[in-house]
Amino acid sequence: MKLLVGLRQLNAYFDNEDPRLAAAGTVAMIIVGNQPFYPLYVVAIAGNQGWFAALTWFSTPFFAAIPALCRRAGLAGRLLLIGTSIANTALAALALGTGTLVELFYLPCLALAPLLFDRRCAVIGLGACIAGIGVGFCLVHSGLGGGIANFDPGTLQALARLHALSVAGLMVVFMFLALRIRGHEKRDS
C-alpha cells in the first residue's frame, strides 16, 4: 500500500494541468528513471570503458527539477528540458564518441520544440533547440568528437544499435504524448 501511495506521489510530482507541461514532466520522468541504468547498458556492451557514460549522471538533478520549475515558470521549465537534453547528448558524445551514434539523441531534442510549444510559441522552442544543438555539435566536433573512451569496431556497432533503438523508442513516446496533447487541445477548443 505504501508503495502505491509513493508511486502516486511521484506521478503527481511529474504531472501538470497544462498538457504540454505534463509532457515535459513525462519526458523528464522517463529520463530520470532511465539515467541510472544507461551506464550499466553501456558497460554490459563495452566493458569498463563504458563507465565513461556515467558522466551523463551530472544532468539528472536538472531533469528532476523540471516539473517543479514548470509549475512556477512554464517557459523556463520547457527551456530547461531542451537545454538539459542537448547538454546531456553533447556530454555523452564527448564521453563515448560520435562513432557510437549517441548524437542521434539530438533528434528527440529537436522534437521537443513542437511537443512543448504551441504554434504561437513554436519559434522560441525551435530557436532554442537549433541554437543548443549547434553549440553541442560544434563542441563535440571541435576535435573532441573521438570521445574519451576508445571502442573497437564491434563495440561501436553495438552501441550504435543501442542508441538508435533508444532514440526510436523515445520518438514513439513523443508521438503518444503529442496525440494526448492534441486530444486535450481539441477538447478545450
Task: Tell whether pTM > 0.85.
Answer: yes
Dihedral of alpha carbons 97, 86, 163, 42, sign: positive
Looking at residue 27, its pLDDT comes to 96
Nearest alpha-carbon partner for 131 in 86, 78, 98, 94: 86
First to last CA, the chain: 39
**In this structure, are residues 129 and 109 in contact, taking their beta carbons and an 8 Å threshold?**
yes
pLDDT of the chain, 189 residues: tens digit per residue:
777 777 788 777 877 899 999 999 999 999 999 999 999 999 999 999 999 999 999 999 999 999 999 999 999 999 999 999 999 998 898 899 888 999 899 889 989 988 998 888 778 877 887 887 787 777 666 665 567 888 999 999 999 999 999 999 999 999 999 999 998 888 876
Cell representation of residue 56: 551523463
CB neighbour list of residue 128: distance below 8 Å, 6 or more residues apart: 79, 82, 83, 113
**Residue 134 to residues 64, 141, 160, Cα–Cα distance (Å):** 25, 10, 21
Distance, in Å, from the CA atom of 114 to the CA atom of 119, rounded to the nearest integer, reads 8
Confidence at residue 14, expressed as pLDDT on a 0 to 100 scale: 77
Query: Can you give the pLDDT at residue 138?
Result: 77
Rounded Cα–Cα distance for residues 25 and 17 (Å): 11
Question: What's the grid cell of residue 15?
Answer: 504531472
pLDDT of residue 110: 86
Q: What burial letters (b/e) apply to 128-143, b meaning 16+ CB within 10 Å?
A: bbeebbeebbebbeee
- d(CA 151, CA 100) in angstroms, rounded, equals 9
CA atoms of 71 and 77, how far apart (whole Å): 8
